[in-house]
């Protein structure tokens, strides 16, 4: 019986051999991933990511979160700054929520337990991707984009209730006061950190795309289609979506039963795929979060989102 380490070595070695045997296929795969990243992800995410970092560094979290102090404490037992993380995540998308939580944790505003609670409800995609990319481009139906967006945000908010922390006798904000940086220093750090984070994000996107293309190369999707026919499409969508949410969502749109396709796409976006999972881990591991904890939070969020989206799309299937 192989140990996990030996199995990983065998898989990676086989992957490397496949790239040597068929280099043109993998070069094309990498180009597609880089093209997706450069033309879609980077232009839509970098400005939001940069602004979120800059706002955090100049101390905007405390000011912008004042009105949410009571709701956040009552619902999730988290400090008011958690509302700031949640709002930026909902506006900007992955991985801004995790990045903001990390920044506030390093500044001493959030504790480890705060970050663990916040990561359950402030880990979302952005409206541009759900309404534009999925609704308009992938499903070619703006109503589908709205269903995915509503289900996604509702699932995130409900998901946070499952990981609610125990009320603390003292606010985490009292533990340490965030150091407010000067405009020049904050600007320079935000540009540098945004650039590095975007390069890392691009690497994950390219690698996830290569893995999905490898599954297609060895015939996983075609084999399932031969065995199960049309019934194979939801399974293919789940497999691809588990690795990379954009490719998975494209497969979801091919489902013959539209409500199921919409629900699977919603669940895929909420889970984010391994690409998003490892991005989240890169930001949250310094805050004391383990990969399995992030995985569990994303899994429950995706299950909630599937249920909500299926119910909505089934009820309004006539309009889809």
Q: What is the 8-class DSSP label of residue 2? A: -
Asked whether residue 2 is domain-assigned, the answer is: no
Asked whether residue 147 is domain-assigned, the answer is: yes
CB atoms within 10 A of CB 319: 10
Closest by Cα among 206, 163, 162, 256 to 236: 256
Asked whether residue 271 is domain-assigned, the answer is: yes
pLDDT the model gives residue 168: 54
Asked whether residue 107 is domain-assigned, the answer is: yes
pTM, two decimals, is 0.86
Read off the tokens for 250: 């494209």
102, 94 contact by CB (below 8 A): no
Separation of alpha carbons 258 and 238, rounded Å: 15
Q: How many domains does the chain have?
A: 1
Asked whether residue 1 is domain-assigned, the answer is: no
CB atoms within 10 A of CB 152: 29
Asked whether residue 20 is domain-assigned, the answer is: yes
What domain range is 306 assigned to? 9-319
Closest by Cα among 151, 187, 171 to 57: 187
Separation of alpha carbons 155 and 65, rounded Å: 22
Separation of alpha carbons 129 and 135, rounded Å: 8
Asked whether residue 3 is domain-assigned, the answer is: no
Closest by Cα among 301, 269, 32 to 144: 269
Per residue in 309-320, pLDDT (tens digit) is: 999 999 988 777
The 3-state DSSP class for residue 272 equals: coil
Max Cα distance, the chain (Å)? 62
For the chain, list residues with pLDDT below 50. 169-179
Closest by Cα among 207, 249, 203 to 26: 207
Closest by Cα among 303, 293, 270 to 115: 293
Phi, psi of 94 (to 5 degrees): -60, 145
Asked whether residue 284 is domain-assigned, the answer is: yes
pLDDT the model gives residue 139: 93
pLDDT the model gives residue 52: 79
Closest by Cα among 266, 296, 268, 245 to 119: 296
Closest by Cα among 211, 261, 262, 209 to 235: 261
């Amino acid at each position: 019986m192989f140990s996990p380490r030996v199995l990983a070595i065998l898989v990676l070695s086989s992957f490397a051999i496949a790239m040597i045997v068929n280099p043109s296929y993998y070069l094309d795969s990498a180009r597609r991933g880089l093209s997706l990243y450069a033309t879609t992800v980077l232009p839509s995410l970098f400005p939001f990511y940069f602004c979120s970092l800059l706002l955090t560094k100049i101390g905007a979290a405390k000011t912008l979160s004042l009105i949410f102090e009571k709701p956040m404490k009552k619902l999730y037992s988290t400090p008011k700054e958690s509302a700031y993380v949640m709002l930026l995540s909902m506006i900007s998308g992955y991985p801004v929520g995790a990045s903001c939580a990390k920044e506030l944790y390093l500044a001493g505003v959030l504790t480890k337990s705060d970050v663990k609670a916040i990561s359950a409800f402030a880990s979302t995609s952005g409206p541009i991707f759900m309404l534009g990319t999925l609704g308009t481009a992938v499903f070619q139906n703006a109503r589908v984009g709205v269903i995915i967006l509503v289900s996604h945000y509702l699932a995130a908010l409900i998901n946070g209730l499952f990981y609610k922390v125990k009320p603390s006798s003292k606010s985490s904000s009292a533990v340490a006061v965030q150091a407010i940086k000067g405009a020049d220093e904050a600007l320079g750090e935000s540009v540098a950190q945004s650039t590095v984070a975007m390069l890392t994000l691009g690497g994950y996107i390219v690698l996830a795309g290569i893995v999905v293309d490898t599954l297609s190369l060895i015939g996983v999707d075609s084999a399932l289609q031969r065995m199960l026919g049309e019934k194979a499409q939801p399974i293919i969508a789940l497999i691809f979506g588990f690795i990379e949410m954009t490719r998975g969502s494209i497969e979801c749109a091919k489902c013959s039963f539209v409500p199921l396709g919409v629900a699977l796409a919603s669940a895929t976006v909420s889970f984010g795929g391994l690409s998003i999972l490892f991005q989240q881990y890169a930001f949250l591991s310094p805050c004391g979060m383990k990969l399995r904890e992030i995985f569990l939070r994303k899994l429950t969020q995706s299950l909630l989102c599937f249920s909500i989206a299926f119910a909505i799309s089934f009820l309004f299937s006539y309009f889809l």
